Amino acid sequence: MENRWLKRAGYGSGDFACNLVFGTMASYLMFFYTDVFGIGAAVVGAMLLYTRVIDAITDTIMGLIVDRTHTKWGQGRPYFVIGAPFFAIFTCMTFFVPDLGETGKIIYAYITYILLCCAYTVVNIPLNTIVPRLTSDVNERNKLVASRMIFALLGTAVVMTITQPLVDFFGQGNARLGFFITMTMYGVIAMAIFFFTFSQTKEVVPPSVKVERSDIKADFKALTSQAGVIMALNFLYFGLFVIRNTSAIYYFTYNLGRTDWLTFVGFFGVLSGLPILLVLPWLQQRISQKNLMYIFALTYIVGDLICWGFNNSAVALIASLTITGIGMYGIFGVTFAIQPDVIDYSEYQKNRPISGMIAAMQGFFVKLGMGVAALVMGYILKCGGYIANVEQTPSALFSIEFCFLWLPIIICVGIMVSIFFYKLDGIREEMTKVLELRRKQLAYSKEN
């Protein structure tokens, strides 16, 4: 039992490490680039989208590499150790402000951000692939995924709660220095955690079929309609994540004039989702993944409408943060809980193990969702006439409100449309039995 809990903590903490940086990028990167680094919102939005072209290539390559990695440590685990130092280094570089002109800064921002995204790919794609290799027990998988979501949430809570105070403390009025020291610290901590993740996980479930030769075309053909569902969900959820967390800073600063709430919003808005992640494995034993997704998307919409109707009330704002937190992290938990089933489904239906390819496609759509969200938000703020660090016009305030309240509602509707096409709830048991039988047959053929 102790080893099982250590495995859950080891696996889950990997996402804590990811979110120390990922959460900062989602919540602070646009603000950092516009208000600290010193480049325009539209330029930032375009950069965060255009760099996804390279992400598409690196994610796919990393997925193919993982599928073709065979070591005594497993397929995915070695990359936690390989990628961690680069993840730390490029985090520091991304949040360093060079003494260059505007063009030089833009070039520097592009290069360092691309390098950071590549390093993130090296550690995150394997983290997405190994659950089906850690255990074949569905309930234990749900607990591993729940552990990962809890650690991810805690990582985001840490980022939202202490990042700005740390920037103020280390910078002493110099935001550039404050961000650099803070992110250097985050990078080093993340590196140490990835070493811990490597030490506490072990890939024990082999593929159910032996792939005789490398065939990239066959890997792409093994992607199923259910892989398309999870890609859509990742695109939409992480777009929601970026828009919500980024626009919250603008909304509470300019629309409500409550910068004193920012730390509380970051802490409470994130941790309000913790209870739902704690009970999610229990709920998943009683309610289908599809129905849970409907429930959580609707919950988020209700929370947003409360904020819209009663934003002058502190009590209503707290209620809104609570409800949207439950909805957002419920969506988060279900999205990642169905990933191992989608991986198994390709192996079950197409008779080809492509966990790396599926994780690569997920990674691409995660980053594409973030990039499109940043581009859309940057464009909306520009159209509204937003100018950093000045009193905003009514049109600028409306553009901020639209990003904070109405775009998330539109995305939630898209999530409900996407999950409609999910069909694995009814065949999960059958898949497990068939794959276990194939593994036994494969093991027997190797022995004889």
Smallest Cα–Cα separation from 235: which of 373, 365, 422, 45? 365
Which tens digits make up the pLDDT trace of 413-427? 999 999 999 999 989
Residue 408 has pLDDT above 80, yes or no: yes
Count of CA atoms in the C-beta half-sphere (13 A) of 231: 15
Cβ atoms of 389 and 35 within 8 Å: the answer is yes
Reply yes or no on whether the pLDDT at 318 is more than 60: yes
pLDDT surpassing 50 at residue 400: yes
Determine which helix (DSSP H) or strand (DSSP E) holds 300, and give its type and residue range.
helix 289-309
Among 88, 94, 78, CA closest to 119: 88
Instruction: Give the tens place of pLDDT for each residue, 15-67.
Output: 999 989 988 887 788 888 988 888 888 888 888 778 877 877 888 888 888 88
Where do we find the tokens 């150790």? 81
Whether the Cβ atoms of residue 254 and residue 392 lie closer than 8 Å to each other = yes
How high is the pLDDT of residue 131?
Answer: 85
CB 149 within 8 A of CB 329: yes
Q: Identify whether the C-beta of residue 273 lies closer than 8 Å to the C-beta of residue 325.
A: yes
pLDDT band of 115, cuts 50, 70, 90 = very high
- The closest alpha carbon to 232, from 362, 378, 399, 57, belongs to 362
Per-residue pLDDT band for 1 (boundaries 50, 70, 90) equals very low
pLDDT at residue 213, rounded to an integer: 60
- Contacts of residue 330, Cβ cutoff 8 Å, sequence gap at least 6: 273, 276, 280, 292, 295, 296, 299
Q: Which of 152, 132, 138 is nearest to 204 (CA)?
A: 132
DSSP 31-76: HIIIIII---HHHHHHHHHHTHHHHHHHHHHHHHHHHT--BTTBSS
pLDDT above 80 (res 448): no
Strand partners, 71: 74
> C-alpha angle 390/111/56, rounded to 5°?
105
Q: Of the ranges 43-52, 123-132, 292-301, 307-316, which is most confident?
A: 292-301
At 291 the pLDDT is 96
Q: What is the pLDDT of residues 175-199, one digit of tens each?
A: 899 999 999 999 999 999 999 999 9
Query: Are 362 and 234 within 8 A, CB to CB?
Result: yes
Q: How confident is the model at residue 436 (pLDDT cuts 50, 70, 90)?
A: confident
Distance from C-alpha of 111 to C-alpha of 374, rounded to nearest angstrom: 18
pTM passes above 0.95: no
Give the mean pLDDT of the chain.
Answer: 87
Overall fold of domain 2-201+216-447: Growth Hormone; Chain: A; (1.20.1250)
What does the pLDDT average to over 115-128? 91
**Residues of the chain above pLDDT 90, percent:** 37
Whether 2 has a pLDDT exceeding 60, the answer reads no
pLDDT band at 208 (very low <50, low <70, confident <90, very high): low
**Separation CA 370–CA 26 (nearest Å):** 8
pLDDT confidence of residue 212:
56
Considering 64-68, 106-110, 150-154, the range whose residues carry the highest mean pLDDT is 106-110
Q: Where are the domains of the chain?
A: 2-201+216-447
